[in-house]
A and B are shown apart, each in its own frame.
Chain A
Amino acid sequence: MRDVAVISFAASAVERDDLQNEVEMLTPVIHEAVGNSGIERTEIGFTCSGSLDYMQGGPFAFVLGLDAVGAWPPIRESHVEADAAWALYEAWVAIQIGEVDSALVYGFGKSSSSDIYEVMSMQYDPYYMLPLWPSMIDVAALQARDYMESSGRTERDFAEVASRSLGNAKSTPYAISARDASVEELLGAPMVNDPLRAHDIFKPCDGAAAVVLAAGDLARSVCARPAWIRGIDHRIEPHALGVRDLSISVSTKDAAQRAGAGKDKIDVAELHAQFSSEELILRDAIGVNGNTRVNPSGGALAANPIMAAGLIRIGEVAKRITAGEADRGLAHATSGPCMQQNLVCVLEGE
């Protein structure tokens, strides 16, 4: 295996960006990530993005994202209709194959153009689920209650996740939800989708993220402390919610094991929990203990630009390793209803 590292990361999010189109929103993020990478734009070997056409309401909408990259002379490029964490996986594979030494990975999406909770219903099967139109929140709430039943956890545990995440978010520049809120205060709020309250549910936002990857000596030559990807894996479960045990995340557990998560301590973990209940399910699956700082950025409850938020988890862990605040970290990204598909990436400093 080749040594591959995250050497640069940038992200942005706002509650709604009525001013800019997707390209204009994405451009400064890509320029920041590439500009800070120490690698010339034209020297980057591979470009891979993650986005969702249903967010823009048009086919092949992602192609326009290339206007922010600069595709001349012609570049080697690919795209996934998924969170850009999966684009990072593809880029990591491309570097492993050995044909390129560096890659630009980005993801973007504007949730404000539509009712994103409803648009995400398009990922259900068209026979049994879609005709009923359960929203993204509805199915997360089904999972949350299932988890409460089997684990004995309560709404208070969810509120504790939210309280910590919102507090941590205060130091995250692109956070759209950040505040001090006690558990008691949060529990005083009304239910939105019983058993979930507003603080348990991510707020829609518009945003983008970009990461630059580089292999071995190239990474060392441009970055004082690269965040090396020591393991990365993703696993998927059946799509029908009724055939899964929603209270556990077997795919996360498997991915974490294959990524080598348990081989050593984990200083920091960024978990792509879009609902507070999901963080607890993910902690159980990964086996996070009290020595790990979970979601110091505030996680997806602080900012969840869909199609970028999973990549942001990897970028946030890498940022802390590069800054010397952590030696070993774990990043998680999720996709699909009730966390059907999960990716785990283990990063280390040298």
Chain B
Amino acid sequence: MAEPLVADHVLEYPGGYTRSVGPVIGRFLTSLRDGRIEGVRLADGRVLVPPTEYDPLTSNPVGDDWVAVGPRGVVQSWTWVERPRPGKHGLDRPFAFALIRPDGADTAMVHVVDAGSADVMSVGMRVMPRWRAARVGSITDIEAWVPLADGEEPQPAPANTAEVEGDTVNGIVVPIRLEYRRSAGVATTRYLLGLKEHKILGERAPSSQEVYAASRGTDPKTGEPTSIVVEVQDRGTITTFCVVNIPGLSPLAPEVPYVSAQILLDGANNTFFGLIRGVPVDDVRMGMRVQAVWADELVADHTSIKWWEPLDEPDASYDSYKGYL
């Protein structure tokens, strides 16, 4: 067995995760942009920071009784982060995550304390915000909280150097990027390595004669492992198709209009996805016989088959593929 194939995969929102925030969160983020911290008073008198649209205990709307809190705060709990995560954490040196309750608030917020050393941290310690000069209406407008000495006056936020859009903050943009390294698995590795050898490999379980091209490791009807490898043909029958008129976002997307189809390969009992070329899109039809067009350089991924073109053969009968629609 060859080494299983792995592929890098990134899950990312291009331009950042964009979301509207509504009037309550929007007001809080607007206050941060202005270099202030505001909470909202709940029906029972508690002051909620950071605020939500509803009382987290009763789910009643929070109303409109806004209260200035902080800028001094107290650390309720903390942990030390020895190795900041590049691209995720705002600081590039060790720091603390803490639950910080701003003075005048009855709840705490999770935020960052730039304390230099874990030895400085303690429950009950006094902290104050260190504001960014360029504030956009984000929880990260406070770059970090810093220790506040006895009798020390918190510094006011510097004048905002960011270009401010609108009177209130209406939305957030959060960069999100998650990185993966995915294993193809045993069966898919066999199939992908087959493409490199100009072969389309299928597999079947001992208990069945049904052959699955590009098996993921089991017979999906029974859940039995597909342990028997069977080569299938690189030609087959179009079972169904669609004409695509909407341009794809991917750089790999073909020019429109194009046809994508499901193809029942000769010798297989499942259909296989492919692009159809070499024929006007209006002439593509169910039952049409097609042949794979292989790339000049074969590799262990799907780019080894460029597309599929019609064979000079009569169409397959409907009965021959009606079970695969």
Contact = CB atoms under 8 A, between A and B. Distances in A.
Given A24-B185, A57-B11, A113-B183, A118 B178 contact: yes
A128 B123 CA distance: 22
Contacts of B6: 18
Contact of A145 (B79, B89, B111): B79
A30 B224 CA distance: 10
A142 B98 contact: yes
Interface in B1-34: 4, 6, 9, 11, 17, 19, 21, 25, 29
Contacts of B85: 118, 133, 135
Contacts of B25: 127
B221 A71 contact: yes
Nearest to B175: A131
Contacts of A114: 178-181
A119 B178 CA distance: 7
Given A57-B182, A130-B174, A145 B56 contact: no
Q: Chain A CB within 10 Å — which of B11, B140, B174 has the most? A: B11
Contact of B112 (A24, A130, A132): A132
A142 B223 contact: no
B139 A19 contact: no
B79 A195 contact: yes
A246 interface: yes
Contacts of A31: 223
A18 B110 contact: no
Contacts of B222: 41, 70, 72
Contact of A21 (B19, B76, B184): B184
A194 B174 contact: no
Given A131-B138, A131-B174, A146-B76, A242 B216 contact: no
Contacts of A138: 79, 81, 97
Nearest to B111: A132
A193 B81 contact: yes
A141 interface: yes
A134 B97 contact: yes
B52 interface: yes
Interface residues of A, number: 62
B187 interface: yes
A127 B172 contact: yes
Contact of B9 (A57, A127, A134): A57
Interface string A8-45: 00000000011111111001001100000000010000
A68 B79 contact: no
Contacts of B181: 113-114
Q: Chain A CB within 10 Å — which of B19, B49, B88 has the most? A: B88
B180 A57 contact: yes
Interface in B30-65: 48-50, 52, 56-57
B224 A70 contact: yes
A131 B24 CA distance: 18
B218 A23 contact: yes
A240 B178 contact: no
Contact of B77 (A68, A70, A146, A240): A146
A198 interface: no
Interface string B224-264: 11000000000000000000000000000000000000000
Given A127-B21, A131-B139, A146 B99 contact: yes
B86 to A, nearest CB: 11
B188 interface: yes
B5 to A, nearest CB: 10
A30 B178 contact: no
Q: Which 8 A-B pairs rank lowest in CB-CB distance, beginning with the nearest?
A: A21-B185, A70-B223, A141-B79, A242-B108, A72-B221, A238-B56, A133-B88, A194-B80
21 contacts: A18-B183, A19-B183, A21-B216, A23-B218, A118-B85, A122-B176, A128-B139, A131-B138, A131-B140, A138-B79, A138-B81, A141-B97, A142-B97, A194-B80, A195-B79, A238-B57, A241-B108, A242-B108, A243-B48, A243-B56, A243-B107
Given A21-B186, A66-B220, A131-B140, 7 more contacts: A20-B186, A24-B225, A70-B222, A132-B110, A132-B112, A145-B77, A194-B79
